A = this chain, B = another copy of it.
């Protein structure tokens, strides 16, 4: 940690900062420049330290040197982690393709879709039973009935499934049915929920928050891991920017960055990132080329009848076409579908 004193800091203020650092167990290196005094403090530990120092008189800024995430970071865990969800493995040579509707609407819809996406090459099913909707008047999901339908679809196809959990109270129920728990973008900093899934013994798919930095995202993973659940897979799904031509801005750089900073697998969701059917294919291709470990796509038998996210949903036939285009690119980067 580096503490930069401001240009008008007095000797007394400098002494107080040094005393505080020593009290906290830091070793100190002082550099006196012509215009600034800079203190190098070795041994940084607690997050509170930075805020307290910045609140001291005479301090201009505090620059942390070490990353605040330890369990999620690659520094102390250099080899890549493989996360298993039922028969599926994230982070290996084989790309994981998750497909299914935004929301489970009825048993026929989810079973038909599951069969169709399996036939086209998906290895996992997705479908929402608990839906976080921006409008209180929109369809909110079938809840436990939806989970049962997902389980029936798994029964019928052998595909494991991932589904979102939005209420800490529902974690237990969802764990009973699902192969993997999804934390949605709007809940990425719902710390109560993160702790709860951290205690669950099921892998977690952690979507990036709409305006979350890479660091905050890894801190959210750290929350889950700090409760003992190390099976976390990250999912880039676009961030909020000034651009309105797309629903979100797909931050493809996040894929290689996460690979560098963390040992956790990362997949991409081209459906939510672009928000338009015609963007699913190019964004899926881009994600794979950039090193993603998998993809999650919204597939609905009749997008214009979907109870949510119709404009970004593709049909099973379109999904099949995309899979065909993905195959050569996947192989070109040394992996397989």
The stretch among A118-126, A149-157, A174-182, A252-260 that forms the contact with chain B is: A252-260
**With an 8 A cutoff between CB atoms, is A138 at the interface?**
yes
**Which residue from B63, B211, B256, B329 sits with its C-beta under 8 Å from A289?**
B329
**With an 8 A cutoff between CB atoms, is A173 at the interface?**
no
Contact A245–B213 (Cβ < 8 Å)? yes
**With an 8 A cutoff between CB atoms, is A144 at the interface?**
no
Closest chain B residue to A300, Cβ basis = B55
**With an 8 A cutoff between CB atoms, is A322 at the interface?**
no
Question: How many monomers of this chain does the complex have?
Answer: 4
Q: Separation in Å of the A127 CB from the closest CB of chain B?
A: 17
Interface on chain A toward B: helix, strand, loop, or mixed SS?
mixed
Chain A, interface size category, equals: 35 or more
- Beyond A169-B168, A191-B166, A213-B242, is A137–B46 a contact (Cβ under 8 Å)? yes
CB contacts (< 8 Å) of A307 on chain B: these are 48
With A29-B29, A135-B219, A241-B249 already in contact, 10 other A-B pairs whose C-beta atoms are closer than 8 Å: A2-B2, A53-B304, A55-B303, A136-B222, A166-B192, A214-B245, A256-B279, A256-B283, A283-B290, A286-B286
Q: Interface of A with B (CB < 8 Å)?
A: 2, 4, 7, 20, 29-36, 38, 40, 42-43, 46-48, 51-57, 63, 65-66, 68, 75, 132-139, 166-169, 186-187, 189-192, 195, 210-211, 213-216, 219, 222-223, 226-227, 239-246, 249-253, 255-257, 260, 273-274, 277-279, 282-283, 285-291, 303-311, 313, 325, 328-329, 331-333
